[in-house]
Structure formats: structure tokens, C-alpha cells
Amino acid sequence: MLSVSQILDKSVFQKDDLIYLLNSSGSERLKLFENAREVKSTFVGKKVFFRGLIEYSNYCKKNCYYCGIRAGNSRYARYRMTDAEVLEAVNYAFKNDYASIVIQSGEQTNKAFVSKIESLLKRIHRQTDGKIHVTLSLGEQSEDTYHRWLEAGAHRYLLRIEVSNPSLYLKLHPNNLSHDYHRRLDALKTLRKVGYQVGTGVMIGLPFQSVSDLADDLIFFREFDIDMAGMGPYIEHADTPLYKYRDSLMPLKSRFDLSLKMVAILRIMMKNINIAATTAMQTIDPQGREKALMVGANVIMPNLTPVKYRQDYLLYENKPCLDEEAEECKSCLEARIHIAGDTIGYGEWGDSKHFSQMSLKDSAEIPAALKK
Ligand code: SAH
Ligand code: SF4
């Protein structure tokens, strides 16, 4: 059996290698983290990019079994931000040199929604003189819709595959066309074809999910040649069907640790992509996002959603910063990033280097210092 150091020397990890790394502990685990940190600093630098997060609406037509804002949950008041609220959040991001925002929402595909997003994108473009880059995270849409939103000014799109194993996907979603694994995969391919920088990701520590599934997820990211990744621990929500499996889950701390390892391994596998330090990581560990930055993440999404809506956008329970206005959130984050030893790329779009460069697949391009 190879050691972590021998595995880290390989140019391409096989599935067995990934499982070994995901199971590593003690000094081997630390070696993995150390290597990921060095790769990050060499290939994407120590800069962290901010994406101001706007949780536009919690209306959702879908019923994913894990998610708190699923259509079947009547506990939350449903909201949609007004145009003025969206533009105010954008203005905050612009004035604070964030250079980039994410508009996220429950999935809606009706004509009014599609047109509303299109017109907001145009207004954002005008209001900021095209200086703010926009990432969308609005679920599965038609090719025409993706195209219209790109034309209106969006640049990047986040659509998590959630799990790359089709039979596991089926256990986590209703069995119908609007929750179909292959449809989601096709949507990712369409996004790529239309011309977006494409981000995807998975949840970690789900019921029925094994370490072997997570290794397959990492291989999926590599094969799909993604530009960005957002991964985080699964956190149970009492108003969802998966809650009944809560006793079968691994402890939160282990889900968190596995998430850190996923970030670290992905950074080593795909050296120049953007990887988010997700809010779900902070939900489990107050320093979760800084820890993710230390092992390879380079993007953070400060929440710009008006505080009055945040209680109603609970994808999972115990979401942090529910009562923090954008300004407090910003200074809190600056301190956190400083602790992690990084600096903030204010005023920079922070596009995925992967999107503009050839991918670095050949180990010959890895500096010798990293090949310990
Ligand atoms: N509706 C869009 C975007 C909003 S949901 C979509 O589904 O793509 C954003 C992400 O929240 C989902 O992709 C999912 O990975 C994550 N999420 C949902 N419920 C969660 C839970 N219980 N724990 C952790 N992450 C969750
Ligand atoms: Fe809707 Fe997205 Fe939640 Fe699924 S994960 S229920 S699509 S908001």
C-alpha cells in the first residue's frame, strides 16, 4: 500500500488513491492539507475573491429531499426580493469593490421569472458600467433561457450535480422528470456549450453516501473539466424527508473533516480552478471557511441578502450570520481571511484561471518543490 506522500507524487490519482486520501488521518492527513495549501499558493496565489451573495427568492418548484425551501415545505413565508433591493445589494458590492456577485434562488422557470432575471441583469450591467461580474445559481433552465441570461450580462453559472452517482441521486430526489439526474447533467453540458464559466459541486455526508461515491465525485469534476467548485457538508433539516435518516449520518465533525479533504484533494487535482469556502462549512465549525481557505479554497461569498429574508432562505438548519448586515459581515470576513493568511482580491473579477488557461494536467508542470 502506498503512503500519502507517494500518492501525492502521482500525476493522476486513481479511484483507490482518492479513497486512501479521503480516509487519511494523523500526520498523513496533515501532509495532504499542507500539499494542497502549497498548490494553492503556487497556482492561484493567496488571494481570496469575494462574491456578494444575493438570495433572490425562496420560491421553488422542486422537492429535493434534503432542502429546507423545497416546494413541499409550507413553514417558510415565500419571498421575492424587489428590484430596488437587488440593485441596492449590487450597489453595496460595487462600492465595496467586490467586483462580483452571485444571484441564487429556488428553481423557477416561468416566463415572468426568466424575463425578470434578464431585465435585472441588464440593469446591473448598466448601473455598474459592466464592472460587476455576475454568477447565476438558478437551477435547471432551457438552453434559450441560459442563452438570454448570458446575453443580458451573466458570466458564470453554478449548478451542483449534488451527487455524481445516478442511483444515489434517485434516493435523494423524487422520481420524476424535473428531478432527473440526466437532465441535470445535460443542463451542465448546455451551460458549457452556451459559454458560461461552469461551476458544480456536491454535498458531503449525505445519507446512503459512501467514501467511494465521494471519490467518484472528484473524478466527475476532473472529467467534466469544471471551472469552479462549491462543495460543503450536508446538514439535515427537520422539515425534509431525509430527516428520518439523521441517526444514520456520520457526526457533523466528520462531515466537516471530509469536506476539508474534498477541497484539499480537488485543489491538488485541479490546480487552477476556483473553489468556494462554503457557508455550510461555517455552520459546523465557526472557523470553517478559514479552514477551507487554508487547504485550497479561494472564493468566499459574503451574504448581501437583506436580513429580513434570511430566516426564510434556510436550505439547512443553523445557517450562520442570519442577523448580520452586509457591513458587519464584511469586516468579520476580512478578519477571518487575514487569520487564514490570505489577502482579498478587492476590485478583481477573480475569474477561474482554468477558464482562460490550458488546464495543467501534466505533472511536469508542477514545481519540484511541491513534489515532496
Ligand atoms: N435551486 C438552485 C440553487 C439554490 S440551492 C439549485 O438547486 O441549484 C443551492 C444548493 O444548496 C444546492 O445545490 C444544494 O447543494 C445546497 N443544499 C440544499 N439543501 C442542503 C442541505 N440540507 N445541506 C447542505 N446543502 C444543501
Ligand atoms: Fe429548490 Fe434548489 Fe432546494 Fe432543490 S436544492 S429544493 S431546487 S432550492
50 phi/psi in degrees, rounded to 5: -95, 140
101 phi/psi in degrees, rounded to 5: -130, 160
CA 179 to ligand 2 centroid distance, Å: 10
Count Cβ atoms within 10 A of the Cβ of residue 342 and give its class: 0-12 exposed, 13-18 middle, 19 or more buried.
buried
Cβ of 55 below 6 Å from ligand 2: no
Ligand nearest to the CA of 137: 1
Pick from 127, 135, 152, 149: nearest CA to 301: 135
Count the Cβ atoms, other than its own, within 10 Å of residue 288: 23
Ligand nearest to the CA of 61: 2
Atom 25 of ligand 1: nearest residue by CA position: 234
Cβ of 352 below 6 Å from ligand 1: no
Cβ of 203 below 6 Å from ligand 2: no
Cβ of 256 below 6 Å from ligand 1: no
Locus of grid cell 434556510: 314
DSSP conformation class of 182: H
DSSP conformation class of 77: P
Ligand nearest to the CA of 217: 1
Whole-angstrom distance, CA of residue 246 vs CA of residue 138: 28
Whole-angstrom distance, CA of residue 280 vs CA of residue 256: 9
Rg (C-alpha) for the chain, rounded Å, is 19
CA 315 to ligand 1 centroid distance, Å: 6
Cβ of 160 below 6 Å from ligand 1: yes
Count of H-run helices and E-run strands, the chain? 15, 11
CA neighbours closer than 13 Å in the CB half-sphere of residue 271? 20
CA 28 to ligand 2 centroid distance, Å: 37
Cβ of 162 below 6 Å from ligand 1: yes
What pLDDT score was predicted for residue 329? 67
What pLDDT score was predicted for residue 366? 33
Whole-angstrom distance, CA of residue 204 vs CA of residue 235: 9
Pick from 43, 44, 55: nearest CA to 306: 55
Cβ of 102 below 6 Å from ligand 1: no
CA 58 to ligand 2 centroid distance, Å: 9
From 64, 113, 176, 178, the mutation candidate for ligand 2 (largest count of ligand atoms within 8 A of CB) is: 64
User: Are 90 and 127 contacting, i.e. CB atoms less than 8 angstroms apart?
Assistant: yes
Please identify, by atom number, the ligand 1 atom nearest to the C-alpha of residue 62.
1
Q: Tens digit of pLDDT per residue, the chain (372 long)?
A: 788 999 999 989 999 999 999 999 999 999 999 999 999 999 999 889 989 999 999 999 999 999 999 999 999 899 999 999 999 999 999 988 887 999 999 999 999 999 999 999 999 999 999 999 999 999 999 999 999 999 999 999 999 999 999 999 999 999 999 999 999 999 999 999 999 999 999 999 999 999 999 999 999 999 999 999 999 999 999 999 999 999 999 999 999 999 999 999 999 999 999 999 999 998 999 889 999 999 999 999 989 999 999 988 988 887 777 776 666 666 677 777 776 677 777 766 667 667 665 433 333 333 333 333
Please identify, by atom number, the ligand 1 atom nearest to the C-alpha of residue 315.
19
Whole-angstrom distance, CA of residue 329 vs CA of residue 306: 12
Please identify, by atom number, the ligand 2 atom nearest to the C-alpha of residue 67.
3
From 56, 67, 76, the mutation candidate for ligand 2 (largest count of ligand atoms within 8 A of CB) is: 67
The pTM assigned to this predicted structure is 0.91
Cβ of 104 below 6 Å from ligand 1: yes
Domains and CATH numbers, the chain: 42-359 (3.20.20.70)
CA 53 to ligand 1 centroid distance, Å: 14
- Non-local (6+) Cβ contacts of 135 within 8 A are 51, 100, 101, 102, 103, 154, 155, 156, 157, 158, 199
Ligand nearest to the CA of 158: 1
Cβ of 70 below 6 Å from ligand 2: yes
What pLDDT score was predicted for residue 347? 64
Locus of grid cell 470553517: 288
Atom 6 of ligand 1: nearest residue by CA position: 139
Ligand nearest to the CA of 64: 2
Q: Write the single-letter amino acid at 83.
A: D
The string of pLDDT tens digits covering residues 288-306 is 999 999 999 999 998 999 9
Pick from 343, 341, 308: nearest CA to 324: 308
**Three-state DSSP class for 206?**
coil
What pLDDT score was predicted for residue 174? 98
What pLDDT score was predicted for residue 337? 75
Whole-angstrom distance, CA of residue 93 vs CA of residue 304: 8
Atom 3 of ligand 2: nearest residue by CA position: 67
What pLDDT score was predicted for residue 37? 95
